[in-house]
Chains A and B, each alone.
Chain A
Amino acid sequence: MGVFVFLPLVLPLTAWPIARLAEQHLHPRTATRLLTAVAAVMAACSTLCLALVMVVGTAQLPGNPLPDGWSDPEVRAAVPYDEIVGKAAIPALCAVVAACARTLWRHARVRRRAHRALAGLPGTGVAVLPDETPYAYALPGGRRDRVVVTTGLLERLRPAERRALFAHERAHLAGGHHRFLLTVQLAARANPFLRPLRTAVAYTAERWADEEAARHVGSRRTVAHAIGKAALVSRGTPAPTLAGLAAPGPVPRRVAALLGPEPAVRRWPSLFTAVGLAAWCAAAGTALSAMSSANAAVTMVLILHTATPL
């Protein structure tokens, strides 16, 4: 097994080029699904390997509940630098579990509170709130999925743009985009190298809903205008980007994409383009990650099985 057990911890780096390029070159639906799947597999592999290393690391500690045989020299030989890495893996795995639990808990809490805030309103699919602050979002779950929008935002949009807004939010709900977002968030918690994938999926999911809205409304420009206007009227919210990094934010990129031609739905990009190369690189990294963690898991189970006195 050797150093291969550590591979899944660093292989998420191979997903970085595709995270960047998929946003621009793949259809947003394909990009969202691909990046989420890659993130989920890599996060699972990375966590599994962390757990395997931890088993070996913990087995040597006195007073642990694991069988004594698990700390035999033969077992420890399976993992290089087992003393240091094994001990380091314990807090690392605890941190991963805690961060994931916290993310899940927060997710559930925000959704629960938002649904509770709407109690007393008629149970329609759209909840219009009399509030001057312009905002809108899709709220999944509860008794039924709802679109929440304020009068402050609706007032500033023309009828066609309102239709675009509702179509966008409904696309989020119909496509279950919150599941993709939650998955990549958990993945980013499991392995910090997967953070670029979270940013990328947050963007491609919006683009996906934009494209659906454009198809529904029948005008890409209307959707672009709705997004642009909504962003300009709600610009008072502090931007989560650093002022020094003046790369175009997600909103102008979405508007620019909508003003451009409709993205083509391609099966799988050719290897000889930048995006194709990146996609193959990510696919190879994911496959390698899955294989080495499966290999590590099987080897470890076999070793531990023989080392366990029955």
Chain B
Amino acid sequence: MTERGQGARRRGQGELEALVLSALGEADGPATAGWVRERLGCDLAYTTVITILTRLLAKGAVTRERSGRSFAWTPAADQAGLAAHRMRRVLDAESDREAVLASFVTGLGPDDERLLRDLLGRAGHTGRTHSEGED
């Protein structure tokens, strides 16, 4: 029973999702979970592949249609789209992410927007006259 979870878990969910998605991307048209599993050619259990595909479906990264008794899967987003989706979820889940990740900008206070527009407007004007003067 070690062949299922252990290796997969060590690789991490994100990496597995990326693997499955890239395998789907190589298919010509919709592919079944069995095809994906063969394509990956590794120790993944069939149910694991189904789980990952279902998770990708929830993220809007794949779509599926019924074909016979199973589903055929088609990629809807590429790797980057999937990464963007996962990153948004990480950021939305962390209320004080500002404290951990040094963001480029933080939220603006009530008067900040007006103040900022004033500053940038003034900078634009003086900047233009400056560069004209220097040239």
Q: Which residues of A contact B (CB under 8 A)?
A: 106-107, 110-111, 113-114, 116-121, 127-131, 133, 135-139, 148, 150, 153, 165, 168-169, 172, 177-178, 181, 185, 202, 205-206, 209, 221, 224-225, 227-232, 234-235, 237-241, 243, 245-252, 255-256, 259
Contacts of B83 in A (CB 8 A): 117-121, 127, 129
List 18 other contacts, CB 8 Å, given A131-B87, A131-B88, A245-B109. A117-B14, A117-B83, A118-B14, A119-B83, A120-B79, A121-B80, A138-B101, A150-B84, A235-B113, A239-B106, A239-B107, A239-B109, A246-B109, A251-B105, A251-B116, A255-B119, A256-B119, A259-B123
Are A110 and B109 within 8 A (Cβ)? Answer: no
Chain A nearest Cβ from B106, distance in angstroms: 6
User: A137 — which chain B residues lie within 8 A by C-beta?
Assistant: 101-104
Which of chain B's residues has its CB closest to A241's CB?
A: B109
**Which of chain B's residues have a CB closer than 8 A to the CB of A259?**
119, 122-123
Q: Is the CB of A250 within 8 A of B106?
A: yes
A205 to B103, CA, bound (A): 11
Residue in B22, B84, B104, B108 whose beta carbon sits within 8 Å of that of A235 in the complex? B108
Residues of A within 8 A of B100 (CB): 106-107, 110-111, 178, 181
| Contact (A252, B107) CB under 8 Å given A127-B83, A259-B123 | no
Task: Digitize B82-103: 1 where CB-to-A-CB distance is under 8 Å, 0 elsewhere.
Answer: 1110111111011011111111
Are B104 and A232 neighbours in the complex by a CB distance under 8 Å?
no
Contact residues in A for B80 (Cβ distance below 8 Å): 121, 128-130
B65 at the interface (CB under 8 A from A): no
A-B contact pairs, 6 of them (CB 8 A): A106-B96, A111-B101, A181-B100, A206-B102, A234-B105, A252-B119
Nearest A residue to B92 via CB reads: A133
Residues of A within 8 A of B81 (CB): 130
A191–B87 Cα distance when bound, in Å, is 33
Q: Is B45 in contact with chain A by the CB < 8 A criterion? A: no
Q: Does B112 contact A (CB under 8 A)?
A: yes
Q: Is the CB of A131 within 8 A of B84?
A: yes
Chain A residue, CB-CB nearest to B11:
A119
Task: Provide the residues of chain B in CB contact with A256, threshold 8 Å.
Answer: 119
B68 within 8 A of A: no
B28 at interface by CB-CB < 8 Å:
no
Question: Bound state CA distance, A229 and B70, in angstroms?
Answer: 50
Provide the B114-126 mask, 1 if CB < 8 A to any CB of A, else 0: 0111011011000
Q: How far is the CA of A16 from the CA of B94 in the complex (A)?
A: 29
Query: Within the complex, which residue of B86, B88, B102 is in contact with A181, where a contact is CB–CB below 8 Å?
Result: B102
The answer to whether A129 and B84 touch (CB under 8 A), given A119-B18, A255-B116, is yes
Judge whether B102 and A178 touch: CB under 8 Å: yes
* Residue from A107, A119, A227 within 8 A of B104 (CB atoms): A227
B111, A130: Cβ atoms closer than 8 Å? no
The distance in angstroms between the C-alpha atoms of A259 and B115, with both chains bound, is: 13
- Is B8 engaged at the interface, CB distance under 8 Å to the other chain? no
The smallest C-beta distance from A237 to any residue of chain B, in angstroms, reads 5
Interface centre among A130, A138, A249 (most CB of B within 10 A): A249
* A128 contact set on B, CB distance < 8 A: 80
Are A117 and B87 interface neighbours, CB within 8 A?
Answer: yes
